[in-house]
Amino acid sequence: MSLINITNIKRDFVLGNEIIHVLKGIDLTINKGEYVALMGPSGSGKSTLMNLLGCLDTPTSGQYILNGKDVSQMSDDNLAEIRNKEIGFVFQTFNLLPRTTALNNVALPMIYAGYSKSERSARAEEVLTQVGLKDRMDHEPNQLSGGQRQRVAVARALVNRPSIILADEPTGNLDSKTSVEIMNLFNEIHANGNTVILVTHEEDIAAYAHRIIRLRDGLVESDKPNK
């Protein structure tokens, strides 16, 4: 059984009295353990597709089966539960809470998952150690470099042991040396058994993935193995 199974997904947005057809019928199967880069011009629908994959949004029509469950038209509450259990999301702009320590940022998704404070602290410390930030746990985001902030965001994405890591332009705000460090981290995460799907504009970042899917104008233009 595939982890992600998408059939004829469409996503429209209403803007004033206009309907914009952003995703125009996407079919996609992604198996457990794959390492996928999603590419395509700005405005081609990459983030819209990632938001659907990550259960942050639902399609206008079409079917999304995630891990055997039809999540296409699930209620917000049920989606939130799936998101918390299955998905770790990393954003270009890190999206950390300011004035809150790295440890608390990472532990946050565990509150929603119902863990006790001591369980949360222990697990958050464990994942921060995994991303190389054990000695920065008590720092707030503004005391960390861009690369360190993104590591905190990756740790937060991993904290509930999701099966899928989704990253929308995770190196978009980082210099090339720091980007390589973050990509090495995604390699490790993939080697640990996670399914990794990332959006990037850069061919040398996409080169880390084992499969490259290119979108154009709301449709899959190409889908090829990379290694």
**From 40-48, 148-156, 174-182, 217-225, span contacting Mg ion (CB under 5 A):** 40-48
Tokens of 105: 């940022």
**From 15-23, 98-106, 114-122, 128-136, span contacting ligand ADP (CB under 6 A):** 15-23
Q: Does 171 bind Mg ion (CB under 5 A)?
A: no
Q: Which of 114, 54, 112 is nearest to 86 (CA)?
A: 54
- Indicate the helix (H) or strand (E) that contains 6: strand 4-15
Answer with the entry of ligand ADP, Mg ion, none that 15 interacts with (C-beta below 5 to 8 A by kind).
Answer: ligand ADP
Answer with the entry of Mg ion, ligand ADP, none that 22 interacts with (C-beta below 5 to 8 A by kind).
Answer: ligand ADP
Instruction: State how far the Cα of 191 lies from the Cα of 157, in Å rounded to an integer.
Output: 16
Q: Does 42 bind ligand ADP (CB under 6 A)?
A: yes
By DSSP bridging, strand 69-70 and strand 87-91 are unpaired
H-assigned helices in 113-171 = 117-130, 146-158
**From 37-45, 96-104, 132-140, 202-210, span contacting ligand ADP (CB under 6 A):** 37-45
Restricting to residues 46-105, name those near Mg ion by CB under 5 A. Answer: 46-47
The one-character DSSP state at 76 is H
Q: Does 214 bind ligand ADP (CB under 6 A)?
A: no
Restricting to residues 43-102, name those near ligand ADP by CB under 6 A. Answer: 43-48
Tell me phi and psi for residue 179, to 5 degrees.
-60, -45
The answer to whether residues 23 and 59 touch, using CB atoms and an 8 Å cutoff, is: yes
Residues that bind ligand ADP (CB under 6 A): 13, 15, 20, 22, 40, 42-48
Residues that bind Mg ion (CB under 5 A): 46-47
